[in-house]
Amino acid sequence: MAQLFTPFRLGGDVELPNRIVVSPMCQYSAVEGSAIDWHLAHYGAMAASGAGLMCVEATHVSAQGRITHGCLGLYSDANEAALKRVVDWCRAWMPSTKLAIQIAHAGRKASAQRPWKGGGPLTGADAPDTPWSTISASAIPFDATGPGVGFQGGVPAQLPAAKWHTPVALDRVGMDRVKAEFVAATERAARLGFEVLELHGAHGYFLHQFLSPLTNHRDDEYGGSMEKRRRFPLEVFEAVRRVWPRERALGVRLSAIDWVEGGLTIEDSIQTARELKALGCDFIDVSSGGTIPNAKITVTPGYHVPFSARIRKEADIATWAVGVITEPEQAEQIIASGAADCTAHARSFLADPRWGWNAAKALGVEPPPLPVPYHRAASILPFKPRPVAKAAE
């Protein structure tokens, strides 16, 4: 039996039917933070992909925390209602697929152009997308170390040589406000019925900005040593854990390293994972980079897998491996070797929205459940398709 297609208890009472995760992928297509028909079509396809868990893109806890004007939010009743339409559709047609959501705040990387408009900071020339003020651990703009190749929205991109906004360094009142926004978004996600919640603490976004010495130059109890830098992200996690139902799974995406001398190390992230586990964290989604725009990142197939393996072993916590995992045999080897508990895939699913079905065929195992209207595809699958537990009429 292929290990990739064995069930896995992620946390609480959440058991995934297989180890394949659709990674959160920003679509930059929301209106005032609310999902539109595009999201219904996109997530409908991802829910029917054969993955055991589908994670909705970075969904921001405030309008100020969005990366772009097109980013999803979960900070208003309108946002919640629009996303409920998407969740209800996925539940009706693919109830066997577990649903996750990643909640996030972009911090100093907010107020940006959509990637297809350049991905740089918004200026007065980007109307109707007008810029807004940004916040962070310290008043250091994203391009303080110069332009170059970086991660905007988790995707390598050539950033323009434009000056990024200088964020406001948060005081205690501001920190409490953002923590409350994370809690409120968590409560909305719980009402929507997501089984899994992930906090975005990677890719140079808000929580990562507190963790990294490259972006946190504070001289109070939230800056300086690694112990002090992780204090506020841990406070946010603890507040979220208090309101997220215990029977559902809760995890964090971390950038294991910053890929820059003087930045976060894997040892730092292992200890952060240990402390998160002690607070009730169920899993770590292991990524890297994104802190500054000119980090030299060595991108190779499965390049985060060694970080996932170390965090899994040394912090004794479940992990997801991400990063150029494109082939079923590659994913199977990662799980079978014990380097991760799940493999998360992004662009692989954009290129092949039936990646999970095709992985089952490649590995010679029974395919995941298919929605009834797709059963006519059975002739190209090695086994008779299983129906979903309950199909929409």
Domains of the chain in sequence order: 3-380 (3.20.20.70)
Contact 119, 204 (CB under 8 A): no
Q: Nearest to residue 89, comparing CAs of 18, 9, 193?
A: 193
pLDDT at residue number 372: 78
3-class SS of residue 309: helix
pLDDT at residue number 378? 64
Positions of the chain with pLDDT lower than 70, given as ranges:
145-162, 378-393
* 3 state SS of 42: helix
Phi, psi of 115 (to 5 degrees): -55, -40
Identify the residue whose tokens are 């290990």.
Answer: 3
58-64-66 Cα angle (round to 5): 25
| Triad 316, 223, 164: Cα angle to 5° | 105
Residue 242: strand pairing partners: none
CA 335/CA 290 separation, integer angstroms: 26
So what's the pLDDT on residue 295? Answer: 87
Tell me which residues are annotated as active site.
205
Is 183 exposed, middle or buried (CB count within 10 Å of its CB: 0-12, 13-18, 19+)?
middle
Residue that has been written with the tokens 């893109």 in this structure: 57
Neighbours of 188 (CB within 10 A): 23
42, 369 Cβ separation under 8 angstroms: no
Residues 6+ apart with CB under 8 A from 393: none
Whole-number Å distance between alpha carbons of 219 and 19: 42
Q: Considering the entire predicted model, what is its pTM? A: 0.93
Q: What is the pLDDT of residue 386?
A: 64
Q: Which of 241-255 are b and which e, b meaning 16 or more Cβ less than 10 Å from the residue's Cβ?
A: beebeeebbbbbbbb
First to last CA, the chain: 34
Phi/psi region, residue 154 (left: phi>0; alpha: psi -120 to 50; beta: rest), is left
Distances (CA, A) of 309 to 198, 211, 341, 342: 19, 21, 9, 11
